[in-house]
């Protein structure tokens, strides 16, 4: 019984840990927007070649963090290293 509880606890802890973000770079001057889509305003512009943390991607847009404090969305086709 103790073994089953330990295994269940380990699985639950594993499910609650955050996933590892992927490192990439801006392939060009990259507009970081407040939401996924062209209708959302640009909140920052990333320089080409600078590192970007990709938190997750949909089909066309990725949730990104730039310089450790800018959180927003960028077009997946303009991010190098995905």
Express each pLDDT in 9-22 by its tens digit. Answer: 444 333 333 345 77
More confident residue, 13 or 65: 65
Going from the C-alpha of 12 to that of each of 1, 5, 17, 19, 20, the distances in angstroms are 17, 11, 9, 14, 17
pTM exceeding the 0.75 threshold for the entire prediction:
no
Express each pLDDT in 16-56 by its tens digit. Answer: 333 457 789 988 899 999 999 999 999 999 999 999 999 99
The whole-number pLDDT of residue 8 equals 44
**Domains defined along the chain, listed by start:** 19-80 (2.30.30.40)
Beta strand residue intervals within the chain, DSSP E: 22-26, 30-33, 42-46, 51-57, 61-66, 70-75, 79-80
What does the block give as tokens for 47? 């320089």
């Amino acid at each position: 019984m103790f073994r089953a509880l330990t295994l269940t606890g380990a699985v639950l802890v594993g499910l609650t840990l955050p996933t590892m973000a992927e490192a990439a770079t801006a392939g060009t001057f990259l507009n970081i927007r407040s939401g996924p889509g062209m209708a959302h305003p640009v909140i920052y512009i990333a320089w080409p070649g600078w590192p970007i943390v990709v938190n997750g991607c949909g089909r066309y847009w990725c949730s990104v963090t730039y310089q450790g404090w800018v959180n927003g969305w960028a077009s997946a086709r303009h991010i190098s290293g995905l």
